[in-house]
């Protein structure tokens, strides 16, 4: 199955880059400064979720991806979302877009997508007269 698209939309953290080491280092330093034990710190989700000024609802709401498609002048049904997280994949599906999951931060079993790949090295894109083509060997 090939995915055909007008636009490819990429999540940043966990898909294009990973900030987890930096996040863990900063939170660990903060915990030491405030006397919080490593055990207590390990019981909470540490990754920051910066709010974008351009959207009122974050993922899993489809607004971020719908806004991206609108700014690119692309039909959401002709967009492919590349994501590493369940909420981002849910946002892409809710926006009516095809989804490619990367197992960079979650296991394949945790990711509901049209196609699941290890990372972006497993993806290629071809330009055709009809737009962009993402060849895949995944399920439809």
**Which of the two residues, 67 and 38, has the higher pLDDT score?**
67
From CA 81, how far away is CA 15, in angstroms rounded? 11
At 88 the pLDDT is 94
Check if the beta carbon of residue 64 is closer than 8 Å to that of residue 91. yes
Q: Tokens in use for 133? A: 């083509």
**Which of the two residues, 75 and 30, has the higher pLDDT score?**
75
- Tally Cβ neighbours within 10 Å of residue 64: 22
Could you read off the pLDDT of 43-91 as tens digits, one per residue?
655 444 334 567 788 889 999 899 888 888 899 999 999 999 999 999 9
**Percent of the chain beyond pLDDT 70?**
81
């Amino acid at each position: 199955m090939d995915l055909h698209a007008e636009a490819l939309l990429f999540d940043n953290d966990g898909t294009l880059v990973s900030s987890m080491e930096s996040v863990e280092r900063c939170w660990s330093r903060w915990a030491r400064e405030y006397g919080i034990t490593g055990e207590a710190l390990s019981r909470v989700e540490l990754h920051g979720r910066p709010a974008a000024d351009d959207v009122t609802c974050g993922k899993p709401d489809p607004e971020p991806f719908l806004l991206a498609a609108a700014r690119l002048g692309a039909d959401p049904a002709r967009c492919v979302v590349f994501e590493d997280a369940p909420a981002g994949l849910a946002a892409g599906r809710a926006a009516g877009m095809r989804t490619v999951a990367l197992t960079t931060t979650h296991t394949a079993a945790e990711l509901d997508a049209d196609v699941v790949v290890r990372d972006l090295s497993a993806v290629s894109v071809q330009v055709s007269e009809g737009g962009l083509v993402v060849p895949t060997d995944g399920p439809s």
